[in-house]
Chains A and B, each alone.
Chain A
Amino acid sequence: MNDHDILERDLGPTSLSLLVRVRGGEEQAWTKLVHLYGPLVYAWCRRWGLSPPDAADVGQEVFCAVWSSLDGFRRERPGDSFRAWLRVVARNKTNDFWRRQCQQEQSAGGSRAWQYLEASCEPPDEAEISRETTQLYRRAVELLTTDFEPATVAAFWRTVVEGQPAREAAQSLGLSLNAVYIAKSRVLARLREELAGL
């Protein structure tokens, strides 16, 4: 494959961050957002004590809320993150769920729901945020495969994820060293762009 072919074909979507594209009504962007963050929301709900079906339900409610109030989310300061906002929404929905549950359980004499009500109020610790970030990046990489040429993805995958030296990757993929670095740089640039502020 010619390096220039890759260059020509790789020009995916514009350099707008994912959130901007979702706000702009781009359907694929929404799908991507859901794929990126859905698992995170689901895992939060499960950790906050919800059963698998309840977690899926509450997760759906969370995205409903996100869908209708995305415009309300503004990055007012550089530190504000979409994830923190999403977590607040998820926390509210989970607490709502437990509150409903409490009302039902109180009449039944149970106490399980009480244990969880507000269980999710604790702010995430750094290790948790770091782990979640890693998983976000990993999912983002998996999703990028649709935006790039397979050769670009392969070069990126080998050099970044597998840590193969660029020279070796170039050789085994039949690309020039330049093309490998270009692939790597492009995908990293896209990742940075898409996850900016998320």
Chain B
Amino acid sequence: MTPSSFTGDPCLAAQVLTQYLRGDLPEGEHERVERHVSVCQRCALALDTFTDGEDDIVLRLRAPEASDPLESEAGCQHMVARLSALPRQPNRGRSHSHGSGDKFAAAWSRDTQSFASPQNSTGCRNDCNSAPLPEVFGRYRILRWLGAGGMADVYLAHDTELDRQVALKAPNLSIQQSSIERERFKREARAAAAIHHPQVCSVFDIGEHEGVCYLTMRYVEGQLLSSHLAAHGRLPAHDAARLVSQLADAVASAHERGVVHRDIKPANVFLDPQGLPILMDFGLASVDRRQEDKLTQAGAVMGTPAYMSPEQAAGQIEQVGPASDIYSLGVLLFEMLVGRPPFTGSASEVIGKILYLPPPKPTELLREVDSELEAICLRAMSKSPEHRYASVVEFRQALQNWLAKHDASKHDASLAPTRTPPRMRWWIAAGVASLLAIVACGVYSLVLHTPTGAIEVRFHDENAQVRVLQEGKVLEIIDASTGSQMRRLSTGRYELALVGDRNQFVVQPARVQLKRGDHVIVEILPVERSLVGNSEQEPAHPTAAATATSTGKLPLNQLDPSTVSPELRSQFLKTVPQNGELTLVGGISAESLQRPQAGMAPLEPPLFLVLSGDGATLAAMHPGKVVVIWDLATQQSTRYMTMPRYDTTMTLSHDGTILASAGGGWPVRVWSLADGMLQSTHEGHTNWVNTIAFSRDGKLAASSSKDGTVRVWDIVNRGNLWARPHGDWSRAVAISPDGLQVASGGQKGLVKLWDIASGKLIRTWTASTHPVLHLQFNPAKPTLAVKDETGALTVSSLTYGKPLLRVAMHPLTFPRFSPDGDTIAFATPEGELVLHDSALPTVRLRLPAPVKGAVLTPLGFSDDGRHLVVSDSTGGVGIFRLGSTPAP
């Protein structure tokens, strides 16, 4: 090295200089190097020869990227200013963090009150800081914020040139930011501006002011059709037909100009003070591509896709056209006639139904619906666009013909909005076979008092039982033993479920409405409880299922080998030799798994199957994150759900009443299978979730994630009990049968046992030399099965924390314990089904797969240990009874 002329220090190596230039020197080095550089000419010159092109920070700072316009909104600046001004708490230390945090929060809420209110009608002028648009925006004066749509904020503004009030729409900044999106917005807005129709909310002006593009449109005073329907329920048939025909006329004039609405729904229709419909947001739906993406990729994201056409629900964007608008108008007509859209449920369920189920007939829900109107409605709602009306003009004509035939001018005024209290709905769960009996007189009666009146349910059969449920919880059970009861309920949605032998009950009438004047006060509707339309089968009602389990009735016991379908027989008897050890007593053929309901388009074969711990409920995940739940006792599908796009793993609770899903979306979601609704979301993981496990009672769940942590969740109180780093990331997690311990397995074969209550590490041991792929607690003995990535299976003692048994054969599938804990079932790579002793190196049963390439995968045992549920490589599921003596 050459000595520097000034200091005598040796000059710096190129490597050191590069690091210095990047500001990336190790601690302590910087000062020494800087001292040298400050005086060494040679090194300064050397520095000058380096380029810093690859330095990430330099590149980012130099990039000509514009700043995020959202961040320059006044609301943002206001928030930051307040936040940074607030906590003058110099001693925020660890020990004080809680206290000072509380103080901070208190100071906060006091301080934010004035800020949070600018949405009200007068707030904005006093506090226009909160609006992202300045008070004076070009020729417009912004008066107040009206609302936000999926793609834009809408303001009430005053046009100072034309002296009129307008609704001014400024797209979201994600659109403003991108010049392509901005052009698209303007193009669509221009198309919408070209539509002139009294029933279309006119676009007045499109422009750009100081880099913000916007459009202004007619400011309509009135009521949203959605609010009107919510307040009044269904409409008289004549009004419904007239409204939809007027809307169809508006849509026709748009279609003529090549503009498709794509998002016709009650929330996009205003009723003006004369009761005439005004359709809003023409052609703009397509601008909001984000929304479409969400819909097509993750069904559960959108809450109410009820008005969406099948082609939209399937995400076939290129097929969305005029016929899609006809479909949506058909749904609108349906809802106005019946009082609810054709498909209800969670978003995911609705999307599934739109895609695969024929809509219910309006007359089935409400006998008085006119059959001609029903035919019009159903044709508009055909699944396939070519079966709908050829054009919206034709659809409108059909409605007008009907109107001409059924002239009822007396109804015309009834749509003018009036103020009435919202109606109360009584949803009566009349499951597949749990039917409601209302009879003229009887021995037992249930009187339900509501704030607006009372309803009495009487029945005169001692075998009948009525349950009052709210959100799946039983509030009241009335039967012969309880006698007549009176119950006072607050306003809300309840379910009345009738449990009993369905053959003894007939529902008559199917629908009950109590009206005051023209308004429905109480309405009793049958609710679809399952997708199974076949009334020959046992009810799949969750209440009924729960009862069966709690009384110790084991549903699989009742399966009769003689009733096994020929398809199932041919599927399994080929592969499973009937040597008396296993008897096929039921199952679901590969064909049925793909077609959960007759008449439905087939699903792709399932990606994987999950069995509940009691062996009675099966969940099948199909491509597209479609999950079908099957009741193995009836071998019928009971529910159909769509999981969020990122969820790749799922598990069922022991009793099969809840399902947990997770994956790349990071939260753990818990779904109730009673209603298919998302029950809770558990956030905390910051990376991919690999495995979830329930405790036996379904009250706790454990998850392991690529973020390196194992977390335990309180499902009931919706909290995260604890999170612990596994060390390396864990791909396997399990909860012990007593619910007291959690086991997790890591990348180097390390198994950790944790105390569930405290999160304390109880024991760590090495079970394998390879990453642990699966863990399962022995349900009856203190051992744990550990399967690693290479397939090696060991059984470890929980007491001593070491492996007791190494299974000589490498299982291909996850091992399953029998309920007595004595046996482990698994399949070998050769396709054999093996029942292995869980403590000794002994094979109890070995069934070679007679068909080459077939693999019999044990999914699990039934609670009584007498049945083994097996899937074979063709995708079918078989239920086998163990042992040679047939069950009673």
Contacts and interface: CB of A to CB of B under 8 A. Distances in A.
Given A64-B105, A161-B61, A76 B84 contact: no
A60 interface: yes
Interface in B717-753: 725
A49 B150 contact: yes
Given A34-B83, A137-B61, A188-B23, A68 B98 contact: yes
Contacts of B267: 110-112
B300 A60 contact: no
A85 interface: yes
A9 interface: no
B453 to A, nearest CB: 20
B153 interface: yes
Interface in B275-322: 291, 294, 298, 300-304
Nearest to B72: A39
Nearest to B19: A185
Contacts of B108: 60, 64
Interface stretch (B111-119, B577-585, B618-626, B865-873): B111-119
Given A111-B303, A123-B664, A186 B683 contact: no
A7 B422 CA distance: 73
B93 A25 contact: yes
Interface stretch (B43-51, B467-475, B632-640): B43-51
B67 A123 contact: no
B79 A56 contact: yes
B669 to A, nearest CB: 9
Contacts of A77: 707-708, 725
Contact of B101 (A38, A68, A160, A179): A68
A39 B68 contact: yes
Q: Which of A47, A68, A113 has the most CB of B within 10 A?
A: A68
Q: Which of B58, B229, B294 has the most CB of A within 10 A?
A: B58
A52 B87 contact: no
A84 B34 CA distance: 35
Given A31-B84, A137-B61, A161-B61, A43 B68 contact: yes
Contact of B38 (A39, A40, A102, A178): A178
B165 to A, nearest CB: 20
Interface string B218-258: 00000010110111000000000000000000000000000
Interface in B95-152: 97-98, 100-102, 104-105, 108, 112, 115-119, 130-132, 145, 147-150
A189 B23 contact: yes
Interface string B504-522: 0000000000000000000
B62 interface: yes
Interface residues of B, number: 111
A12 B57 CA distance: 21
B681 A108 contact: no
A177 B41 CA distance: 8
A114 B38 contact: no
Contacts of A182: 34, 37-38
Contacts of A76: 708-709, 725
Given A64-B101, A177-B48, A109 B93 contact: no
B683 A57 contact: no
Contact of B83 (A63, A109, A131, A176): A63
Contacts of B153: 51-52
B161 interface: no
Interface string A171-198: 0000011110110111111111000000
B248 to A, nearest CB: 22
B793 to A, nearest CB: 30
Contacts of A118: 300-301, 644, 678, 681
A52 B60 CA distance: 28
B346 to A, nearest CB: 10
B75 interface: yes
A158 B481 CA distance: 88
17 contacts: A25-B90, A47-B174, A51-B119, A53-B75, A53-B117, A56-B78, A63-B83, A67-B101, A70-B97, A88-B683, A109-B226, A111-B267, A121-B646, A131-B65, A178-B44, A182-B37, A185-B20
Query: Closest 4 interchain pairs by CB?
Result: A114-B303, A109-B230, A68-B101, A188-B23
Interface of B: 20-25, 27, 30, 34, 37-41, 43-45, 47-48, 52, 55, 57-58, 60-63, 65, 67-68, 70-71, 73-76, 78-80, 82-84, 87-94, 97-98, 100-102, 104-105, 108, 112, 115-119, 130-132, 145, 147-150, 153, 172-174, 224, 226-227, 229-231, 265, 267, 291, 294, 298, 300-304, 347, 422, 644-646, 664-667, 678, 681, 683-684, 686-687, 707-709, 725
Given A7-B38, A68-B105, A123-B666, 20 more contacts: A25-B91, A35-B80, A38-B76, A39-B80, A52-B73, A60-B108, A63-B83, A68-B97, A108-B230, A109-B231, A111-B267, A111-B303, A118-B300, A118-B678, A123-B664, A123-B665, A177-B44, A186-B23, A189-B24, A190-B23
